[in-house]
Structure 1
C-alpha cells in the first residue's frame, strides 16, 4: 500500500513540476533559482501530506496554493531582500515569440509588491476565480479585488507606452 502511494506521488510530482515552475518564475519575476527552491519546497510539503491526499479535493490546486504561500512566506523573511545582479537568462520563461515583451512584463511584475504580484499571477496567469485566489493567499475576496485593481493600475502605469509599442508590431 505504501509503495503505491509513493508511486502516485512521484507521478503527481512529475506531472505538476513544470506547471509549478512556470508559476514560480512568474511569482519571482524570473528568478529561476528562487523558483526552483519554491517548487522544491512545495513538492516537499506535498509529500508530507500525500498520505492524506484523499481528503484533498484538488491536489493540483492545493499544490498551487502551497506554492503561493511559500512565495509569500519567503518574501517576509529578512534574507528575501537580497537581489541578484546581472541580466535575465536567455531561456524563455513564458510562451510567446516576443522576448522584448516577455522581459518588459517580467520586469513590470518584479516591480510590484509580492502580494500584488501573487494576485496578478493567480487571477490572470493561472485564470483562477477571486474566491480561489483569496483562498490561496489566505485573504478575503474584497482584498483580492482591491489588490487586483491596484496592481493592474500599477502595471498600466509602468507599461503604458511600451505596451502600445508592442501591440503595434
Structure 2
C-alpha cells in the first residue's frame, strides 16, 4: 500500500493487521470498522536497514500497482526490450544455480561458462515468451509470467540445425 498522508507520506508498506482502537481504559475495543492498519514500512537501506511497523489511518492508504510493489522490493520491472528482460532473468537464474549448486561449476574460472549458458538460457526463455504471447508490452514487463519448464525443455532438446 502507498501511504498518502502523515509522517510516511509517499512510502510503500505491506499491511499486516487491522488496527482496532481501545477505549481510554484499554479494556474494550471501540465499535466500528478499524480506523487504521498495522503496516510494515521498508526503511531506507542507506540510513536504517530493515522494516518498521507503524499504525497508518485507513484514509492514508492507497493500493499500489504491481510495478510499484516490485520496485520497492528492488526488482526491475521494465527493460529496454523483451530480450533484455529475458537476459536479466537468465542471469539471475544462473547466479542462483551457481550459488545453490557450486559443485557442478568448475572450481577454476567458474564464470568461464557463464556467458555461454546465459546466452542459451536467454534464447530459450525468449522463445518461450514469444510462444506464450508475453512479448507485449515490448518493455519486457510480462516476461516474469513465462513458465520455466518450456525453457528447460527447449534447452534439453537436441540441436537440429537450421531447417
Please indicate, yes or no, whether the TM-score normalized by the shorter chain is above 0.5: no
State TM-score, norm by structure 2: 0.28
More helix by share: 1
Of structures 1 and 2, the one with the larger relative CO (CA 8 A, separation 6+) is 1
